[in-house]
Structure 1
Amino acid sequence: MKIAYRFGRAGLLFLAASLLLAGCGRDEASQQGGAQERPPHPVEVAELSPQDIALERSYPALLRSDNEVTLVARVTGFLEQRHFEPGEMVKEGQLLYSIEPDLYQAAVNQRQADLQSARAELVRAQRDAERFERLLSQNSVSRQQVDQARAELGVARAAVAQAEAALASARIDLDYTEVTAPVAGMISLSRVNVGNLVSHGTELATITPLDPLEVRFQLPQYDAFELRRQLDNPDAIAEIRVVLQVPGLNGGAGEPLVGRLDFLGSRVEESTSTVQASATFANPEHRVLPGQFVRVSLEGLKRYDVLAVPEIAVGQGLMGPQVFVLDEDNVARARPVDLAEVAGPWQILAGGVEPGERVVVGDLAGIEPGVTIEPLPFDGEAGEIVEEQEQQERQAEQQEMEAADESGALAEDAEDDAS
């Protein structure tokens, strides 16, 4: 038993030595293989140069009708007639309500009679004053009598003016008994039924013009600053379009609503750090309504003379965002960068790179510092690169899902066989 034990122990030592030698051989082989250079990694490369990048900005907004009017009663009386149907389009100057016009017509007639009486009294006073002037020249009346006649003439003239003013006021009240549309638009439900007593200030209905409509929105102060700087360029103003984005509207057969920028504020709101702006949209088909929440897109905005790369060219390193810059030997070197805005498929760089440097702009998969790159030409279409990358990711996800489904099916078959 002792001899067998020694022999077994010697065999184990021999086996361990053999495995150690084999491992050393494999290490030498792997070192020799690692010494071989990997082939250059083909990927799109672009030489950085300043360019103008188009931006698209959208902001939440609320539609409003700038000329919306609330009709109110200007006189007191019974509402006798309503001359419209709620929800219809009314024209400017169209008769809408009648508020007891007979009562105010009678008041006008009374004021006319008062005016006639005052004018007759004025004629009498004027004749007396003229007669007393002639008698004074003949020393037939005293100076006091002449002064009295002149005073009565002044009182008569004032009475005529007072009667004329009262008649004008009565006629204004009579006009107010017929409520007409000050603007054209869609009228709301009547807030007062026919037969009710209304007084001065009673709200009757609302007229909302639907074409054009105004939209007010808030711009972040940096966007507002850049927009104002661009608007100062006369050649750039015509390039800016204001497009209304309404869920379910632009996806249909109709064209999007395009308006014009009317106002850009000159101060920053302290509470929101935004600048107010407004735009006007033609709405001839009444496709949108006031009070509707929408998004306003500004098209034609640009950032001038900036350095930018496709968004997928920016990776994340130990120092933060980074890109890969090629040296003279086409070796990739990681370079930390400062990011500015994202403009569609483009990422604008605020610092870290210089014009003339070559940057990897394609898919970063398989690229790390020190890798030799085979530069492929870049046609300048960042959107195509981003779309291609997204398509590859979707295909990879689809393959993973299919593999998972297949594994699940095999597992179910194995359970069925085992049962």
Structure 2
Amino acid sequence: MKRVFFNAIFISIVVFAACKKKQPPQNTEVPVNLYKVKAKPVLYYDQYPSTTAALSQVTLLPQVQGAVTGIFFTEGSQVKKGQKLYEIDKRIYQDSYDAAVANRKVTEGTLLQAQQDADRYEYLNKYNAVAKQLYDHAVITLENAKSQVQSANQAVKTARTNLNYAEVYAPFDGTIGLSQVKLGNVVTPGTTVLNTISTNDPMAVDFVVNEKQLPKFERLQQAKHQPTDSLFTILLADNSLYPINGKISVIDRAVNSQTGAITVRLVFPNPKGMLRVGMSCVVRVHNQEAGPQIVVPGKAVVEQMGEYFVYTAQDSLMNNPKAGADSAKNKIKRLVALQKKVQVGETIGANMIIKSGINNGDRVIVDGVQLLHDGSKITTANKVGPSAGGKGSR
């Protein structure tokens, strides 16, 4: 029992001695890495998703009904304006035209006879040698004959038009697609799609911008001489750069009131047919901002509720806890984090352009920002900074 008693006393003494040891002061400084801001010229492109479109495109629809009796082109080939593309069974339309022409000849003969009778009765009427009623009937018959000739002429025109519609021609030079009908298919006027023709050189590229950017593109449209090479370029779906530059052509007439967006159209030469209608691509607009710009690592920028902030390092004098109250060294220099609201610009790889909020020479915190708040004490004395592979710098 005595042995157990003495062991308990020994353990209590050891624990008491450990508690009496002075605990090391807790380090409240957040280790960070800094980046000194220096404005420099920046080359970048504003990028916009876009789609290629034909400047002219038409869907071929038949104007008369009948079976397709001829197809006179190669699908996917280039066609010329006026080239014959389709033929619809024209026999019934040829017969209608011939009948209309024959009927017109009959009405013309009737008109000749009525004219002769009217002339004869007019002569006799001058000498009161014929009944007034016969003369009036002759004049009316003449007018009716003239109307019948006009009607016959219109019937001939209609029959000729229908006969012409039985043959479908290319309305302009362009590329024709896959035929939607085959030989023998019966087509219906205004309903059955025969094919589609579109122009391909030059090619339009449409993209959408926010209405806030509209003044910028209006200035680019009105500029007679573009100061920057490669102002408008496009990246194709395989991320390759299209080798020919484009120019701004049209800005849509109105802003979409629901989305606040408006469509801008560029035009690119397409001599080799690399661009096809409906392709997805990315429009690159060369930046036009002159002079150096402030660029910081993107990881230094913090987004909060749609606003953007960075932390900068600022020297601050603080009380020295190791010095006495009357000591001349009661103040020491320490770094603190200062939160600043910034306006961000284009993202360039891992970096981001800052348009306002910080200045040349500011020291921006790039690592450790997730542990900071406005006024946090920071240090760059750490051997390996958080999220960094090397020694912090001040």
Structure 2 length-normalised TM: 0.69
Q: Residue 347 of structure 1 aligns to which amino acid in structure 2?
A: I
Query: In the alignment, what sits opposite 1:157?
Result: 146
Instruction: Describe how 1:238-387 pairs up with structure 2 within 5 A.
Output: 239=228, 241-248=231-238, 250=240, 255-265=242-252, 267-302=254-289, 308-311=294-297, 320-324=309-313, 335-343=338-346, 344=348, 347-351=353-357, 358-360=361-363
Matched, 1:216 2:175: no
Shift of 1:311: 4.4
Query: In the alignment, what sits opposite 1:60?
Result: 49
Shift of 1:144: 2.1
**Distance (Å, rounded) in 2 between the aligned partners of 1:64 and 1:223:** 22
Give the length in aligned residue pairs.
Answer: 336
Q: Residue 123 of structure 1 aligns to which amino acid in structure 2?
A: L
Query: In the alignment, what sits opposite 1:207?
Result: 197
**Distance (Å, rounded) in 2 between the aligned partners of 1:60 and 1:314:** 27
Note if contact 2:313-2:363 (Cα within 8 Å) is conserved in structure 1: yes
Note if contact 2:83-2:169 (Cα within 8 Å) is conserved in structure 1: yes
Query: In the alignment, what sits opposite 1:34?
Result: none
Cα RMSD over matched residues? 4.4
In terms of fraction of residues, the more helix-rich structure is: 1
Cα 1:312/1:124, change in 2 over 3 Å: closer
Shift of 1:91: 1.4
**Distance (Å, rounded) in 1 between the aligned partners of 2:165 and 2:187:** 12
The percentage of counterpart residues that share the same residue type is: 24
Greater shift in the superposed pair: 177-186 or 159-168: 177-186
Query: In the alignment, what sits opposite 1:75?
Result: 64
Note if contact 2:295-2:352 (Cα within 8 Å) is conserved in structure 1: yes
Matched, 1:124 2:127: no
Q: Residue 337 of structure 1 aligns to which amino acid in structure 2?
A: K
Note if contact 1:338-1:349 (Cα within 8 Å) is conserved in structure 2: no
Matched position secondary structure for 2:119: helix
Note if contact 1:185-1:207 (Cα within 8 Å) is conserved in structure 2: yes
Cα 1:196/1:121, change in 2 over 3 Å: same
**Distance (Å, rounded) in 2 between the aligned partners of 1:158 and 1:42:** 96
Matched position secondary structure for 2:149: helix
Matched position secondary structure for 1:203: coil
Cα 1:312/1:137, change in 2 over 3 Å: closer
Cα 1:237/1:340, change in 2 over 3 Å: farther
Matched position secondary structure for 1:258: coil
Cα 1:236/1:307, change in 2 over 3 Å: farther
Shift of 1:179: 0.8
Gaps of 5+ in 2: 1-5, 25-32, 317-333, 369-375, 381-387
Shift of 1:180: 0.8
Matched position secondary structure for 2:183: coil
Cα 1:99/1:152, change in 2 over 3 Å: same
Shift of 1:166: 0.4
Matched position secondary structure for 2:64: coil
Cα 1:42/1:204, change in 2 over 3 Å: closer
Gaps of 5+ in 1: 28-40, 373-392, 398-419
Deviations 1:392-413 (A, max 9, x none): x7xx49xxxxxxxxxxxxxxxx
Cα 1:111/1:316, change in 2 over 3 Å: closer
Shift of 1:220: 2.5
Note if contact 1:325-1:358 (Cα within 8 Å) is conserved in structure 2: no
Cα 1:279/1:248, change in 2 over 3 Å: same
Shift of 1:54: 6.6
Shift of 1:269: 2.5
Shift of 1:93: 1.0
Matched position secondary structure for 2:246: strand
Matched position secondary structure for 1:154: helix
**Distance (Å, rounded) in 2 between the aligned partners of 1:236 and 1:324:** 45
Q: Residue 264 of structure 1 aligns to which amino acid in structure 2?
A: I
Note if contact 1:244-1:297 (Cα within 8 Å) is conserved in structure 2: yes
1:89 to 78, 81, 95: 78
Shift of 1:176: 0.7
**Distance (Å, rounded) in 2 between the aligned partners of 1:317 and 1:101:** 70
Cα 1:326/1:111, change in 2 over 3 Å: farther
**Distance (Å, rounded) in 2 between the aligned partners of 1:113 and 1:266:** 53
Structure 1 length-normalised TM: 0.65
Shift of 1:143: 2.4
Note if contact 1:188-1:207 (Cα within 8 Å) is conserved in structure 2: yes
Deviations 1:292-346 (A, max 9, x none): 21111222443x799735447956699941345799xxx9886543322323456
